[in-house]
Amino acid sequence: MKKLFGLVLLLGVALLAAGACTGTRHSSKDRAQWGEDHAACERSVRKELSENPGAYGVDDEMRLIKICMDKKKGWRK
């Protein structure tokens, strides 16, 4: 149980650090919300990919997440 808690804690810290290191800005959201928006974009893109297998290539997942973060969530570099 301690290992699981440690792993979850480490993953959470890594996600927050990744958000802080992106160099992205938002006009009305703080940096803590980057991780929430990124997770929402990942879920959305993965759902789209699973509903349309073969419509996208291997490299499309990250590109679509970046588009979601920019166009739908408003995060800019």
pLDDT digits (tens, 9 = 90+) for 9-42: 666 666 666 655 557 888 899 888 999 999 999 9
Q: Where are the domains of the chain?
A: 2-72
Average pLDDT across the chain, whole number:
83
Higher local confidence (pLDDT), 74 or 14: 74
- Evaluate if pTM is beyond 0.85: no
CA atoms in the 13 A half-sphere facing the CB of 70: 10
Determine the residue type at 4.
L
| pLDDT value at 67 more than 70 | yes
* Per-residue buried b or exposed e for 4-43, using 16+ beta carbons within 10 Å of the residue's own CB: eeeeeeeeeeeeeeebeeeebeeeeeeeeebbebbeebbe
